[in-house]
Amino acid sequence: MATSIPEVDVNSRLKGRSFTRVADLDADELVRVLDLADRLKELQRRREPHPLLPGRALGLIFQKPSTRTRVSFEVGIAQLGGTGLHLARGDLQLGRGETIRDTATVLSRYLDGIVIRTFAQADVEELARHADVPVINGLTDSAHPCQALADMMTIRERLGRLHGVRLVYLGDGNNMCASLMVAAAKLGLHFVAATPSGYEPPREVSELARSAAAASGGSVELADSPEQAVRGADVLYTDVWTSMGQEAERERRLRDFAGFGIDERLVQLAGDGAIVLHCLPAHDGEEITEAVLHGPRSAVWDQAENRLHAQKALLASLIR
């Protein structure tokens, strides 16, 4: 007996497009993906099958370690009725000098979509330029757009809204900060990045976000005092202080980021009912304390789960 497919609202104008950074989608498109993610989460909660992509094949090129990104995409495509194929660096001729263009051309003949987690953003953009199927950025040194989608889903789920929410990011102005800033700006949040001097997000990202915020009614602010930044916050957000590839800088970074970790003191300075987010993995006692991570204000585990639902919505929206 054929499985009936529940009625869902998939934005057909996204079909065939890539998602290499948050800026690839406008505010309405982001909201449509989030709405679909909510619907798919509800269907999954009810154990109601939703094979929106039957028979489709998704390639997963992973040149960096991964827990949440790999598992959520593999499980996600399976729940949508398709198949995920994990492609480690050593499995591909990319590791032996084949060009990104040639790899994109060949994989497009086999696959219906490609997720890539790698170092250089330029490599993702080149892959998308030459592929005939959607390419999704699973993380680069410059951006983490899929995580930002799950973050917006979690904030809306917990607070009931996005527009007007005060979201304070503390720590390194890294790839996570950059993607989160642009997503927040597009969706009308008031975003504050509180970073030590020298660790601000890239200027071009801040300028892009400020332009988006001007159109959405949101705002973007850079700060260097965590205590001042968190006052009145609805959401506190942090990420690791030492990302992959920065291990040699660890001791210096621990000194530079002293005082920027989310602990009970900073949570108390935030607004009543403020939630705490962290994209994980977490380092207890550095960017966040265990008491906060596992405490009553933490929405981190819902946030991690929502990677699955947000990415399923993205796959269903992009793959033909």
Neighbours of 85 (CB within 10 A): 16
Spell out a b/e string for 100-131, using b for 16 or more CB atoms within 10 Å of the CB, else e: beebbeebbeebbbbbbbbeebebbbbbbebb
Active site residue 307: yes
The residue from 144, 190, 253, 297 that is catalytic is: 144
CA gap 223, 241 in Å, rounded: 17
| Residues 96, 98, 100, 102, CA torsion sign | negative
CA distances 191 to 9, 151, 169, 187, 194, Å, are 29, 13, 8, 10, 10
The residue from 147, 151, 156, 166 that is catalytic is: 147
Residue 39 phi, psi dihedral angles, 5° rounding: -65, -45
Active site residue 117: yes
The residue from 32, 39, 50, 117 that is catalytic is: 117
Active site residue 210: no
Radius of gyration of the chain, Cα coordinates, nearest whole angstrom: 19
192 close to 260: Cβ distance less than 8 angstroms: no
Active site residue 121: no
The residue from 278, 307, 309, 311 that is catalytic is: 307
The residue from 32, 279, 303, 311 that is catalytic is: 279
Active site residue 239: yes
The residue from 68, 177, 239, 278 that is catalytic is: 239
* Count of all residues that appear for the chain in the document: 320
For residue 17, the 8-state DSSP code is -
Active site residue 279: yes
For residue 288, the 8-state DSSP code is B
- Helix/strand/coil (H/E/C) assignment for every residue in 209-227: HHHHHHHHCCEEEEECCHH
Which residues are the active-site residues? 117, 144, 147, 239, 279, 307
